[in-house]
């Protein structure tokens, strides 16, 4: 299954097993999970949401350095 994450920094695609959580898929990327919110179809979704099919998820950055 293909999961596509889009963010202001670009697009990252990962391959993972059906039944993987959003968090599990994010962990396959160089993105730190605690720094983003996942958005699908205009709604924030929990990172423990289980993914069963190819999907595109927007990641909104929620932390910054300072």
pLDDT per residue as tens digits for the range 10-57: 999 999 999 999 999 999 999 999 999 999 999 999 999 999 999 999
Task: Indicate whether 9 pLDDT > 80.
Answer: yes
Which among 66, 55, 3 is positioned nearest to 31, based on CA atoms? 3
Q: From its phi and psi, is residue 30 left (phi > 0), alpha (psi between -120 and 50) or beta? A: alpha
- Four-way CATH pick for 2-61: 3.50.50.60, 3.40.50.1970, 3.10.20.30, 3.40.50.300: 3.10.20.30
The candidate with the shortest Cα–Cα distance to 28, out of 59, 63, 3, 54, is 3
Q: Are 18 and 53 in contact (CB under 8 A)?
A: yes
| DSSP for residue 33 | G
Q: Token digits for 32?
A: 């730190």
Predicted TM-score (pTM) of this structure: 0.90
């Amino acid at each position: 299954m293909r999961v596509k994450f889009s963010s202001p920094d670009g697009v990252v695609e990962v391959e993972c097993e059906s039944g993987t959580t959003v968090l599990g898929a994010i962990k396959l990327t160089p993105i730190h999970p605690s720094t983003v919110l996942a958005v699908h179809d205009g709604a924030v979704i929990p990172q423990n949401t289980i993914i069963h099919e190819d999907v595109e998820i927007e990641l909104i950055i929620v932390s910054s350095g300072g």
